[in-house]
Amino acid sequence: MYREHILSHYKEPQHFGSLQHATHHAHSFNPLCGDDLTMELLVKKQQVEDVRFSGKGCAISMAAASMLTEIVVGKTIDQLKKLTKDDIFKLLDIPLSPGRIKCALLCLETLHKAAYGEQSKGDKGEHHDV
């Protein structure tokens, strides 16, 4: 049903866990299937130095979050804001049923919430919940 790269990211997600000194934080929940996702970023000088995600969900939502975290390190906040659903679909590289599109895009929604959230002042490492 799912390609090997999806199952690999689901079973062994990249950047999974919490980020002790996160400067940006967001949480999203998909009530349709119960996917629950938190994303934390460490941003210095408007650039992502590190990222972590945590939560639980279906293979699509967890694999998409894992794949997304692999491409955000080194990007600026402005670059994060420009990521689109098409970027997520390209990462997943599988056809998605209408019911699975929300699962796939939960990570992007969460990342955008964090990116658009209040910015820390002077890289003090303050937590900002969006």
pLDDT score for 130: 36
| Other beta carbons within 10 Å of 18 | 11
Q: What's the rounded Cα separation, in Å, for the pair 28 and 113? A: 9
pLDDT along the chain (130 residues), means of 10: 84 95 95 94 96 96 97 96 97 92 96 78 36
Domains of the chain as residue ranges with CATH = 4-116 (3.90.1010.10)
pLDDT at 3: 84
Give the closest residue to 110 by CA, choosing from 34, 53, 49: 53
Whole-number pLDDT of residue 59: 93
The pLDDT value recorded for residue 29 is 95
